[in-house]
Amino acid sequence: MLHKISEFDGALMVMHSPQDQTVAVQNATHIFSVAKHPKSFVSLDDADHLLTRKSDALYAANVIAAWSERYIIDDTKRV
């Protein structure tokens, strides 16, 4: 999988909670380190792996929406 990530030419956001009991932060860090730019790492402090708290899920959704807006191509807005 890391080979595929290192060849990926799109924008990549890695999100991880330091308290995640399912996936270690080292895994997310390794993914981030092999990815090309543009890339971002977002820490979801105090969230669980499945974002079961509504406030955590809403935060993640808002961050994803704001971050991805830069990479969505909208031909109607091109100058």
End-to-end CA distance of the chain: 38
Give me the residue label for tokens 């999988």: 1
Cis, peptide link before residue 18, omega less than 30° from 0: no
pTM above 0.85, yes or no: no
CA atoms of 1 and 33, how far apart (whole Å): 13
Q: What is the pLDDT of residue 79?
A: 54
Q: What is the pLDDT of residue 73?
A: 73
- pLDDT tens across the length of the chain (79 residues): 899 999 999 999 999 999 999 999 999 999 999 999 999 999 999 999 999 999 999 999 999 999 999 998 765 665 5
Alpha-carbon separation of residue 73 from 11, 57, 68, 78 (angstroms): 12, 25, 10, 9
Q: What is the pLDDT of residue 72?
A: 87
